[in-house]
Amino acid sequence: MSATVFSSAPQSCAVCGRQADTMDCFERHHLVPRCKKGKETIQVCIDCGDQLHKLFSLRQLQQTYNTLEMIHADSRVKRWIEWIRKQHYFGVCMKRKKRRRR
């Protein structure tokens, strides 16, 4: 059974549940990283996708956090979801380029 979740509008994030009308706010997240031969994907917002990779190593994603239930069970993810649901736009956590001093 595949966990791929891409359907018609409105779209929602499998981690935080936020919704948007455009696919620009979402990406596919491999439950087991691609480099570890993972094939199943879920739809996550760009913020949650970035946060998952900040919280967990590729090995942790492969061995421990390889289901949506395990991801949701982590206390750090729970705190993240509480915070991100209060944000009114996507891309909150996008890295900004630092200005180089000359």
User: What is the rounded distance in angstroms from the CA atom of residue 20 to the CA atom of residue 10?
Assistant: 6
pLDDT of 61? 93
User: What is the rounded distance in angstroms from the CA atom of residue 64 to the CA atom of residue 95?
Assistant: 27
Going from N- to C-terminal start, the domains of the chain cover: 11-84
Tens digits of per-residue pLDDT, 34-85? 998 889 999 999 999 999 999 999 999 999 999 999 999 999 999 999 999 9
- Using CA atoms, how far residue 12 sits from 25, 40, 93, 102, in Å, is 9, 17, 18, 43
pLDDT of 3? 52
Residue 5 has pLDDT above 50, yes or no: no
Residue 95 has pLDDT above 60, yes or no: no
Tens digits of per-residue pLDDT, 21-37? 778 889 999 999 999 88
